[in-house]
Chains A and B, each alone.
Chain A
Amino acid sequence: MNAPAEKKLFRLVGTRPIRPDGIEKVTGKAIYGPDFVAPNMLQGAILRSPHPHARIRGIDTSKAEVLPGVKAIVTGADFPELDSAMVAGGEAPANIKYMARKCMATDKVVFDGHPVAAVAATSATIAEAAIQLIEVDYEVLPHVIDIEDALRPDAPILHDDLFTQGLPELPTTPSNAAMRVEVRRGDAARALSEAAAVFSGRFTLRPVHQGYIEPHACVASWHADGQAQIWCSTQGHFTVRALTAGILGMEIADIRVVPLEIGGGFGGKTTVYLEPVAVLLSRKAGRPVRLAMKRDDVFRATGPAPGAVIDIRLGAGADGTISGAEVEFKYTGGGFPGAHEVYAGLHCTMSYYNVPDAHIVGWNVLSNIPTVHAYRAPGAPQVNFAVESAMDELARRLGIDPIDIRLRNIARPGDTGGMGMPHGAIGYAETLEAAKAHPHYSAPLGPNQARGVACGSWGNYGGPSTAAVSVAEDGSILVTEGNPDIGGSRASMAIMAAETLGIAYEKVRVVVADTSSIGYSMGTGGSRTTFATGKAVIQAAEAVIAILRERAAKQWNVAAGEVQWGGGEAVHGDRRLSLGQIAAASGTTGGPISAQAAIDPHDYLPGFGVHICDTEVDRETGQVSIVRYTALQDVGRAIHADYVEGQIQGGAVQGIGWALNEAYVYNQAGLLDNPGFLDYRMPVASDMPMIDAVMIEVPNPAHPYGVKGVGETPIVPPLAAVANAVSGAIGIRMCDLPITPDRVYGLLLAAE
């Protein structure tokens, strides 16, 4: 909650006004995915596989078809045949064939909960009854869940036509290893052999779910002219449009996707599960169709984040300088290939330290769980858990303070990064220095308490965004953008537009437009929206200012170049024209005033966080409590300070949940054993202390207000911060997550 001296530079940037969509959301008026109703709408239901792995020999829908009230039934046979083809629709390129198979199985089911048929009926009760009447003839196949099991030579193979990508020679036998990626620089083996201290270890994590509280839901309406409309909750309605068009073989402009309010996503709503199925049902029934998931559908069939097995060897000299690193991480991929977490893992492994000699290998390993999907800094928390645990061990063995050893190795602007690119205006060292100086770091600890520290980074992103700024007849301002507001971004856009135009925040209203009402915008993800869409809003506002100066110049009969813009007014000598006055005169100076910016910025900069965590271990039960938590982050510059702190606090608590409680648990039959919030235990209010969010502002020079992007970084450090604290408290290195009471108790018992 620091207040940088330079904040006075801006009127509105960094303040905390009430969000424009706030009233609707505290009064229950806001319409989310499951709330939307279309006239004459049918209710859909999806039949899901009860087996983790089976061949579909046949599907008999005849009994369901004759149930009164049933209007349409869809199976995999109703989907067009698709060739493997990469489409750049989502936040990462996707193979459209696998996307389609994930939405609806054809010849095979590859996870518990895989959709095999869907029904639309006049009521939800009839739709549910109808799917029970569908008979699927399964040939049950052996299944495999865990990474190491999936790589065994005798493991059941999910896809006979899948050969490991990224090997020097294309293999001739199919494998569950979908992809191998590798980065080498220097000579890691030699560097490790010469190090004063080397830590080697194996770290494991279970898949975890994004855990958004709003289950997926949509309504689709197909029209006889071949056009369709979709109302849904998504992080990217342009993504929904592209993937639905690709899967169904439709023209992109024939699909209009209207984004409803979104009840959380964290990466998990950057794809499609229901929308193509709902469009097909609507096409068959000739009426709008709602498809909505229940909570157990969400857990069983939507993207968890990858589990992982990570082997690491990290060496350092006596002064703590990292000399070399060997890291091999294997991430679960789930039922279908295409997970890009391994690329991100490669990018993120020690990206913020200077490590000249490194050898990093990543694997994407398929098994019979849902296809993994993006979760907040996808691919970074897992490998970072191993790296920051290893750093903690090296600090302990060499007798160096945990923050000092990190400061010794931290990258600074101009240093060469892991991918061979020089670092820009990063604030890594500043954030570590602030952590060291924070009162939390030197506060005394109670009995059975210990303190853990860890860093983490996320690359952030830019990418395509479109925004329009229009001046209403009275001089009030409308901003139209294409990014669903998942955490207060309308407020950030209004602040940036008002700051640029020099007017009051309340004069600006922000609308998130549907796919047919604004140009293409990549989804709300990658910590990109305030940076990239914000930049588009600022550029459109600047273009509006140029028009306003011209219009004022016309009224004064002077050259536009002589008119200045400041304080929301056109200024020429001692003459002034307010925005309202110029707008009122627009009918006689050239008509309506508006401008659009369509941009694709890539001058984003990464985020970096340092988290300090105090834990207390109950040695009788193994229960770990978080007693104090501080999260410091280089945010570039905060636009709306509350929502920046909120991202840091929320991300930290998700990471704490990953460290302590959360895990996908599969039983011997390969079925998910905890598909509900009672058994999939996310943090609740009474588990947590206040999370002290400290914003460090090292601005991004490529953004007019210095934005770097903040959303994803805060989930990266907590896994190791918590594990390092617990390891310190009980004197045993925590290599496996989650750190559940039974695990801690067992380790304490074994140590006695």
Chain B
Amino acid sequence: MPPFDSEFFGGSDRLEMAADTLFGLVGKLDELAPGFADLAHVRAAFAIDGVYTPDWSSSLKGASEVVLLPRVAGG
């Protein structure tokens, strides 16, 4: 999950966990690293199995990999 790993997860760039939705996943990551959820809401984006997924209520059922990306818009 670069580039957030150093900041929040002590350098581990891959975590295994179960969650129903991206909201659930963010909640679990926030338990591991308090403060993560607040920043994620404005700064992070997710891709589920290679598909960029802006709707955090999307189901993670059957998903094998979620990639965490910085949100970058541009000029």
**Physical interaction between A and B:** yes
Q: Residues on A close to B: CB < 8 A? A: 86-88, 91-93, 165-168, 180-184, 210, 265-268, 270, 340, 343-344, 346-347, 362, 374-378, 419-422, 458-461, 463, 522, 525-528, 600, 602-603, 712
- From the candidates B41, B69, B74, name the one contacting A525 in the complex (CB within 8 A): B74
B31 located at the interface, meaning its Cβ lies under 8 Å from any Cβ of chain A in the complex? no
- From the candidates A181, A182, A420, A460, name the one contacting B67 in the complex (CB within 8 A): A420
Determine if A525 and B75 form an interchain contact, defined as CB atoms under 8 angstroms apart: yes
Determine if A378 and B74 form an interchain contact, defined as CB atoms under 8 angstroms apart: yes
Determine if A712 and B75 form an interchain contact, defined as CB atoms under 8 angstroms apart: yes
Enumerate 30 A-B pairs (CB-CB under 8 Å) in ascending A order.
A86-B39, A86-B43, A91-B74, A91-B75, A167-B6, A168-B6, A180-B6, A181-B6, A181-B70, A182-B3, A183-B2, A184-B13, A267-B74, A267-B75, A340-B72, A343-B70, A343-B71, A344-B72, A347-B72, A374-B74, A377-B75, A420-B65, A422-B50, A459-B74, A522-B73, A525-B75, A526-B73, A528-B73, A602-B53, A712-B75
Interchain pairs with CB closer than 8 A, number: 107
Instruction: Give the residues in chain B near A180, CB-CB below 8 Å.
Output: 6
Given contacts A88-B42, A603-B52, contact A343 B75 (CB under 8 A): no
* Given A268-B75, A602-B45, 11 additional A-B pairs, CB 8 A: A168-B6, A181-B70, A183-B2, A346-B2, A375-B75, A420-B47, A421-B47, A421-B52, A525-B74, A525-B75, A712-B75
CB distance from A300 to the nearest CB of B (A): 20
| CA of A603 to CA of B52, assembled, Å | 7
Per-residue 0/1 for B1-12: is the Cβ within 8 Å of any A Cβ (1 yes, 0 no)?
A: 011011100110
Kindly report which residue of chain A lies nearest to residue B72, judged by CB atoms. A344
Determine if A183 and B3 form an interchain contact, defined as CB atoms under 8 angstroms apart: yes
CB distance from B8 to the nearest CB of A (A): 9
Determine if A461 and B72 form an interchain contact, defined as CB atoms under 8 angstroms apart: yes
B54 located at the interface, meaning its Cβ lies under 8 Å from any Cβ of chain A in the complex? yes
B20 located at the interface, meaning its Cβ lies under 8 Å from any Cβ of chain A in the complex? no
CB distance from A163 to the nearest CB of B (A): 12
Determine if A344 and B74 form an interchain contact, defined as CB atoms under 8 angstroms apart: yes
Determine if A712 and B3 form an interchain contact, defined as CB atoms under 8 angstroms apart: no
Per-residue 0/1 for B27-55: is the Cβ within 8 Å of any A Cβ (1 yes, 0 no)?
A: 00000000000110111010100101110
| CA of A461 to CA of B39, assembled, Å | 20
Determine if B75 and A270 form an interchain contact, defined as CB atoms under 8 angstroms apart: yes
Leading 5 A-B pairs by shortest Cβ distance: A267-B75, A526-B74, A374-B75, A93-B42, A181-B3
| CA of A461 to CA of B74, assembled, Å | 7
How many chain B residues touch the partner (CB < 8 A)? 28
Determine if B74 and A458 form an interchain contact, defined as CB atoms under 8 angstroms apart: yes
Instruction: Give the residues in chain A near B74, CB-CB below 8 Å.
Output: 91, 267, 344, 374, 377-378, 458-461, 525-528, 712
CB distance from B51 to the nearest CB of A (A): 8
Determine if B72 and A459 form an interchain contact, defined as CB atoms under 8 angstroms apart: yes
CB distance from A30 to the nearest CB of B (A): 23
Instruction: Give the residues in chain B near A167, CB-CB below 8 Å.
Output: 6-7
Determine if B73 and A461 form an interchain contact, defined as CB atoms under 8 angstroms apart: yes
| CA of A340 to CA of B43, assembled, Å | 10
| CA of A250 to CA of B41, assembled, Å | 22
Determine if A166 and B67 form an interchain contact, defined as CB atoms under 8 angstroms apart: no
Instruction: Give the residues in chain A near B7, CB-CB below 8 Å.
Output: 165-167
Instruction: Give the residues in chain A near B73, CB-CB below 8 Å.
Output: 91-92, 461, 463, 522, 525-526, 528
With most chain A CB atoms within 10 A of its CB, the pick from B39, B53, B75 is B75
Determine if A600 and B67 form an interchain contact, defined as CB atoms under 8 angstroms apart: no
Determine if B75 and A86 form an interchain contact, defined as CB atoms under 8 angstroms apart: no
CB distance from A628 to the nearest CB of B (A): 28
Determine if A346 and B70 form an interchain contact, defined as CB atoms under 8 angstroms apart: yes
Determine if B3 and A343 form an interchain contact, defined as CB atoms under 8 angstroms apart: yes
| CA of A344 to CA of B72, assembled, Å | 6
Instruction: Give the residues in chain A near B6, CB-CB below 8 Å.
Output: 166-168, 180-182
Instruction: Give the residues in chain A near B65, CB-CB below 8 Å.
Output: 420
| CA of A543 to CA of B70, assembled, Å | 34
- From the candidates B10, B41, B50, name the one contacting A421 in the complex (CB within 8 A): B50
Determine if A419 and B38 form an interchain contact, defined as CB atoms under 8 angstroms apart: no
Instruction: Give the residues in chain A near B45, CB-CB below 8 Å.
Output: 602
Kindly report which residue of chain A lies nearest to residue B45, judged by CB atoms. A602
Determine if A600 and B54 form an interchain contact, defined as CB atoms under 8 angstroms apart: yes
Instruction: Give the residues in chain B near A463, CB-CB below 8 Å.
Output: 73
Kindly report which residue of chain A lies nearest to residue B43, judged by CB atoms. A93
Kindly report which residue of chain B lies nearest to residue A94, judged by CB atoms. B42
CB distance from B35 to the nearest CB of A (A): 11
| CA of A351 to CA of B2, assembled, Å | 15
Determine if A421 and B3 form an interchain contact, defined as CB atoms under 8 angstroms apart: no
| CA of A680 to CA of B2, assembled, Å | 38
Per-residue 0/1 for B54-72: is the Cβ within 8 Å of any A Cβ (1 yes, 0 no)?
A: 1000000000010101111
- From the candidates A420, A522, A526, name the one contacting B75 in the complex (CB within 8 A): A526
Given contacts A86-B42, A93-B42, contact A419 B67 (CB under 8 A): yes
Determine if A602 and B54 form an interchain contact, defined as CB atoms under 8 angstroms apart: yes
CB distance from A566 to the nearest CB of B (A): 34
Determine if B2 and A182 form an interchain contact, defined as CB atoms under 8 angstroms apart: yes
Instruction: Give the residues in chain A near B54, CB-CB below 8 Å.
Output: 600, 602
Instruction: Give the residues in chain B near A600, CB-CB below 8 Å.
Output: 54
CB distance from A571 to the nearest CB of B (A): 37
Instruction: Give the residues in chain A near B52, CB-CB below 8 Å.
Output: 421, 602-603
Instruction: Give the residues in chain A near B43, CB-CB below 8 Å.
Output: 86, 93
Instruction: Give the residues in chain A near B69, CB-CB below 8 Å.
Output: 419, 421
Kindly report which residue of chain A lies nearest to residue B9, judged by CB atoms. A168
| CA of A461 to CA of B75, assembled, Å | 10
Instruction: Give the residues in chain B near A376, CB-CB below 8 Å.
Output: 75
| CA of A91 to CA of B42, assembled, Å | 11
| CA of A343 to CA of B39, assembled, Å | 14
Determine if A266 and B3 form an interchain contact, defined as CB atoms under 8 angstroms apart: no
Kindly report which residue of chain B lies nearest to residue A343, judged by CB atoms. B70
Kindly report which residue of chain B lies nearest to residue A378, judged by CB atoms. B75
| CA of A347 to CA of B73, assembled, Å | 11
| CA of A600 to CA of B70, assembled, Å | 17
Instruction: Give the residues in chain B near A265, CB-CB below 8 Å.
Output: 75
Determine if A168 and B11 form an interchain contact, defined as CB atoms under 8 angstroms apart: yes
Instruction: Give the residues in chain A near B42, CB-CB below 8 Å.
Output: 86-88, 93
Determine if A266 and B75 form an interchain contact, defined as CB atoms under 8 angstroms apart: yes
Given contacts A88-B42, A165-B7, contact A347 B70 (CB under 8 A): yes
CB distance from A435 to the nearest CB of B (A): 24
Kindly report which residue of chain A lies nearest to residue B44, judged by CB atoms. A93
Instruction: Give the residues in chain B near A712, CB-CB below 8 Å.
Output: 74-75
CB distance from A655 to the nearest CB of B (A): 13
Kindly report which residue of chain A lies nearest to residue B47, judged by CB atoms. A421
| CA of A166 to CA of B2, assembled, Å | 11
| CA of A91 to CA of B75, assembled, Å | 8
